[in-house]
Amino acid sequence: MGSSQNDQSPNVAQQAVGGPTADVTQTGDQSATADVIDLPIVAEAFDLVGILSAVEETAYKWDLNTDDIEWEQNVDAVLGVSNPDVILTGRGYQSLIAPEHLSRRHDAIVDQDSGDAISGAPFRVQYRLTPGGKRSSESIWLEDHGRCWFDEDGKPTRARGVIRVINDRYWEEQRLLHYNDHDELTGQLNRVRLNDALGAVIQRAARTQQSCSFLVASLNNLAVFNSNFGFDVGDEVIAGVARTIKSKLRGGDTVGRYSSNKFGIILSDCGPGAMRIAAERFISAVRANTIETSACPLSATISIGGVVLPAQADTANEALSCALQALDQAKQRRIDCFMPYEPSPTRETARQRNIAIADEITSALDENRMHLVLQPIISTETGKADLYECLLRMEKPDGTVVSAGEFIEVAEQLGLSRMVDRRTLELSMDLLRKYPDIKLALNVSALTTSDHEWLVALHKLTGGKREFTNRLMIEITETVAIHDLDQTVAFVDTLKDLGCRVAIDDFGAGYTSFKNLKILNVDMVKIDGTFVKNLVEETSDQVFIRTMVDIAREFNMETVAEWVGDQETVDFLKKTGITYLQGFHFGMPFKPSELTEPLDK
């Protein structure tokens, strides 16, 4: 810290490591004077600066009130800082710490209990430092340990510590600690550390008023690589793309793996123009690079979305959300391009609406404000309701009731549909117990078709008794059914083994072939209402209905026409031989308590 050897005060290394050196010149004892002849050997043995340098350690004293740092005089040799003036303040030293570890040192030293008023609070932390500045590609790993003192209000006032360079052997011993920070496949930061680094860089950008940027790059067509060459080759492509992106980073920039095929890239000191140039550099590099895999050389492409920080987002989560929105826009334009985030009042309004709906759904589930209404499914043979479809309604705190159409899409997008489907199942089972003769049909979402826990809940709620499952029809929409045909077949088979019947809902709205319809082996086909709404006037709809009824009959499946709105349509449908009719012509959905006939035995 620049103290001369004539300075009588103990230096920082002495205070931090072992206290002041004994002063042997104050005694009047002649024998002691004679011993002084041997003291140079002792002094050399306790040359703390030399000892610290030999083991690649240095020491410091940090005044947190002024932010000034005093260093031991060997600091340049140990840390190799290109500009020593930078580290004379806490803020300057902090600027050399790697982005993913910015908050780690601060939290370890400052954000802790105040400890003992005399001895202070101990700290020990490890982090990566770039001695050449944040643009440098060279870095060293350090261990920083010491004590911090706080005032009576709990505010940190001063800290003293020793910093040592961690050698290769230590890091071999600490290999597992390294894995906590890095993704095993790509060797880049994992999602947790990427998020930490992003948050720290945003805070630094806000403090220094220098823009930075965040990109999310997505590997295109990973599913094609996996299906054609295997998942191991797909992993090799992911790792190859990560290496290419890493090779095109500037010093001080950071890349990490956000998800299976997505990478997050943090660009320091980077405004809108520089962000676009950097994104195009990454896209071109990946496109031009051939990745050597165990199968064959392969080429890949990426799409990128980016956001400028902190102008467009001031938290890591907001930055990620904005970058992903921009990435979606990029993918809609073409296979490999860059799109910057552009604020959209319409999109923001929709986002806020979705958040509000999600909160309403969660609170309604917690407070038992989800209810069922019933819509009859009428037999064309008897003219009576053989089956009732369960339609979900959500009651708001003010007493107003909304239909599932107003919230179910958001529930599916946000992953809440599993909980909604579970509640619908519970309410349906209550009705099956209360009305022993009633038969019910209920819809399930795409997530539920792959949710083993829902099937477990069905078995528990019914007790495995077919007196309940035989009166239950599970409806799966056509689009859900064809999304993963093998999975849907397995789901249908399990339901039928339990005793339930299964229906394909909204048939004709998607692209299911009649061959797939046979593979699914369902019991009922519900024809989409768009083919029924104007049936009397539209001859093409009439042809579709007749064809559908004939094919279903060949497959031994029952048929239901939805959206039946008038008697003319009823008459036509009866002539086609359709099995069931459903629609407002037979009345509006009603509460179970309004059943005209008591079905209790």
Tokens of residue 327, six digits: 């990435």
**CATH number of the structural domain 181-343:** 3.30.70.270
If you average pLDDT over residues 369-392, what whole number do you get? 95
Greatest distance between any 2 Cα atoms in the chain = 129
Which of these ranges, 54-58, 194-198, 232-236, 394-398, has the smallest mean pLDDT? 54-58
Read off the tokens for 166.
Answer: 């961690």
423 has pLDDT over 70: yes
Residue with token string 């051939």: 290
Q: Which single residue is written with the structure tokens 């992003």?
A: 198
pLDDT at 65: 93
pLDDT at 234 over 80: yes
User: How high is the pLDDT of residue 13?
Assistant: 44
Residue 437 reports pLDDT greater than 80: yes
DSSP codes of every residue in 123-137: EEEEEEE-TT-TT-S
Question: Is the pLDDT reported for residue 566 higher than 80?
Answer: yes
Q: Which two tokens stand for residue 394?
A: 């959500």
User: What pLDDT sits at residue 257?
Assistant: 92
Q: 582 near 389, Cβ under 8 Å? A: yes
pLDDT for 601 equals 36
**Per-residue model confidence (pLDDT) at position 167:** 61
Work out the average pLDDT over 337-347: 87
Of 51-55, 158-162, 232-236, 416-420, the least confident: 51-55
Query: Which pLDDT belongs to residue 21?
Result: 38
Q: Which of 7-21, 39-53, 114-128, 470-484 is the least confident region? A: 7-21
Summarize pLDDT for 573-593 with one digit per residue, the tens.
999 999 999 999 998 999 998
Asked if 339 and 333 touch (Cβ cutoff 8 Å), the reply is: yes
Angstrom distances, CA of residue 337 to CA of 306, 311, 347, 465, 466? 11, 23, 21, 56, 56
SS3 374: strand
The pLDDT score that the predictor gives to residue 332 is 87
CB distance 401 to 407 below 8 Å: no
Length of the chain: 601
| Per-residue confidence (pLDDT) for residue 169, from 0 to 100 | 52
Q: Residue 370: beta bridge partners?
A: 394
As a whole number, mean pLDDT of residues 520-530 equals 91
Which ranges in the chain are annotated with CATH 3.20.20.450? 353-593
161-170, 438-447, 588-597: least confidently modelled range: 161-170
Letter for the amino acid at 424? T
Which ranges in the chain are annotated with CATH 3.30.70.270? 181-343
Among the residue ranges 17-21, 385-389, 558-562, 576-580, the one predicted with the least confidence is: 17-21
8 Å CB contact between 582 and 594: no
On whether the CB atoms of residues 518 and 555 are closer than 8 A, the answer is: yes
Segment 401-420 mean pLDDT: 87
DSSP code per residue over 206-241: HHHT--EEEEEEEETTHHHHHHHH-HHHHHHHHHHH
Q: What SS3 class is residue 154?
A: coil
Single pTM value for the model: 0.53
What are the start-end ranges of the H helices in 268-372?
Answer: 272-288, 316-333, 345-366
Write down the pLDDT at residue 600: 41
The answer to whether 109 and 120 have CB atoms below 8 angstroms apart is no
Who wins on pLDDT, 583 or 179?
583
Q: Side chain identity at 198, as an amino acid letter?
A: L
The pLDDT score that the predictor gives to residue 494 is 94
Stretch 370-382: mean pLDDT: 95
- Check residue 174 and give its pLDDT: 58
Where is average pLDDT lowest: 30-34, 53-57, 451-455?
30-34
Task: Assign domain 353-593 to a CATH class.
Answer: alpha beta
pLDDT number for residue 110: 79
List, by residue range, all CATH 3.30.450.20 domains of the chain: 12-178
Q: How far is it, in rounded angstroms, from Cα 526 to Cα 475? A: 9
User: What separation, in Å, do the N-terminal and C-terminal C-alpha atoms of the chain show?
Assistant: 92
Convert the pLDDT of each residue in 47-73 to its tens digit.
666 666 666 889 999 999 999 999 998
97 forms bridges with which residues in the sheet?
129
DSSP-based three-state secondary structure for 390: strand
Q: What is the pLDDT of residue 511?
A: 55
One-letter amino acid for residue 109 of the chain: I
Token pair of 317 as six digits? 């989560």
Query: Could you tell me which CATH number the domain at 12-178 has?
Result: 3.30.450.20
The rounded radius of gyration (Å) of the Cα atoms in the chain is 35
DSSP string for 29-64: -HHHHHHGGGHHHHHHHT-HHHHHHHTTEEEEEEET
| Identity of the amino acid at 231 | F
How does residue 513 score in pLDDT terms, banded at 50, 70 and 90? low
In this prediction, residue 412 carries a pLDDT of: 85
